[in-house]
Amino acid sequence: MTDKTTTIPVWEPEPGVPAASLPPFGDLYAKARRTAAAQVLFGALITVAGLALLFAGASVPASIFVAFLGCRILLNWVPAVVSGIGTKPGPTEVFEAMPVDPDGLVARRSHVGVRLPDGLWLRVQLPPGVRVQLAGQRRLWLLRRGDRVHVVVPGIVLVWKGRLVSAPVSGAKHLPVVPRDVVAPCEDPVLSADRRAKVPMMLIMVLLNVISVGLAVWTVVGLKADVVARTAAADFAAPGGAAVAVLGVFAALHALTCAITLLKLLRPRSERSWTELPVLDRQITFSGSYRAVLKGHVRLPDGSVAGFRTSKVFASLALDVAASDRLWTLGAARLGVVAVGVPGYPVIGVARFRPAPERAPAEPAAQPIGH
């Protein structure tokens, strides 16, 4: 089956280039590691502070509230630190391209098995959107280190750990080939799988924020009681209650934002086409945790020039746009806030388009593609 999305250039490892210099292990890797380590240290300090308050005889609700905030941070960032341990490749190790046979791909839930030409099986856990992408593209890159491997797929600047074994996971079933035609966003199987996978994660975020708000209310009520009773903790209670109230308001706003996002994820996409926009110039600013801000200018379908700036999106989207000098909007391109991505890849973000001074045309304006 022909992969129609191969007409869209995306980021891929360069043959023969040392893996240590590529984005998954280069500056992006270093920034992500520093960010994760700093967040884990911060979360640990907050957790210890909450426990210390409890053993020092401070307000029980306040102590639990502080410890809970620290545990939330640790829950978010400890997995990132653990997954990064021992992943830095040597200066001479390179990724090798690995095509996948039509019948050489099996899966059981998130566990994916890939049959290699030497008869061994790669066993790796991949998120739903990436599994569907791999089921259609049937190609990836491996960095071998004995029976341990690092796995990279086209267009995704992330690395997954895997192992080389003699057989796939028990009970795995063959994955059928997924068509890779460029279709409307509302019909894209990769985007649909990625969207479904985000629902439980967003639901957890809503619940954690609701718990934070509940603990904040409990804490403020308890501290107010200390003020009224003029206990030994009364001097701390007033400023402490104000600080907790502010944090509670932020948690409530975050819960509302996550709830709105959850409702959007539960609602099917309605965009019936992609709009391909030539990028006239661009600038990428990377931050920690594989995030990036992409800004520049594009040529709109009516021939006018617009400036754009994305929110903090995954670095994969920024590097995919850089690889093609094309930006794709979900639906019609217009001034204002628009969803952007790459057809057939689980990289979605948001960009704001604004009017920009006219300049000499670099390329003809592109038209909508898909259904």
Task: Give per-residue pLDDT as tens, 5-15.
Answer: 778 899 999 87
Assess whether pLDDT exceeds 80 at residue 299: yes
- Determine if the pTM surpasses 0.75: yes
> What pLDDT is attached to residue 211?
94
Please give the mean pLDDT across all residues of the chain.
87
Assess whether pLDDT exceeds 90 at residue 310: yes
Assess whether pLDDT exceeds 60 at residue 17: yes
CA distances from 125 to 108, 342, 354 (A): 10, 23, 40
8 Å CB contact between 176 and 363: no
Q: Which residue has the higher pLDDT, 118 or 189?
A: 189
Report the alpha-carbon distance of residue 167 to residue 8 in Å, rounded. Answer: 34
8 Å CB contact between 333 and 353: yes
Report the alpha-carbon distance of residue 120 to residue 350 in Å, rounded. Answer: 41
> What pLDDT is attached to residue 361?
47
Assess whether pLDDT exceeds 50 at residue 167: yes
8 Å CB contact between 258 and 202: yes
> What pLDDT is attached to residue 90?
78
**What are the respective helix, strand and coil percentages of the chain, to the nearest 5?**
45, 25, 35
Main-chain dihedrals φ then ψ at residue 368, nearest 5 degrees: -60, 145
Assess whether pLDDT exceeds 60 at residue 359: no
Q: Which residue has the higher pLDDT, 87 or 322?
A: 322
Assess whether pLDDT exceeds 80 at residue 80: yes
Task: Quote the percentage of the chain above a pLDDT of 70.
Answer: 91
Q: Which residue has the higher pLDDT, 4 or 252?
A: 252
Report the alpha-carbon distance of residue 211 to residue 71 in Å, rounded. Answer: 12
Residues with Cβ < 8 Å from 292, sequence gap 6 or more?
Answer: 284, 285, 286, 310, 312, 313, 314, 315, 317, 318, 319
Assess whether pLDDT exceeds 70 at residue 122: yes
How do residues 190-239 score in pLDDT, each as one tens digit?
A: 999 999 999 999 999 999 999 999 999 988 887 776 555 555 455 566 67
- Averaged pLDDT for residues 272-298: 92
Give Dmax (Cα) for the chain: 76
> What pLDDT is attached to residue 77?
92
> What pLDDT is attached to residue 232?
46
- Averaged pLDDT for residues 150-159: 93
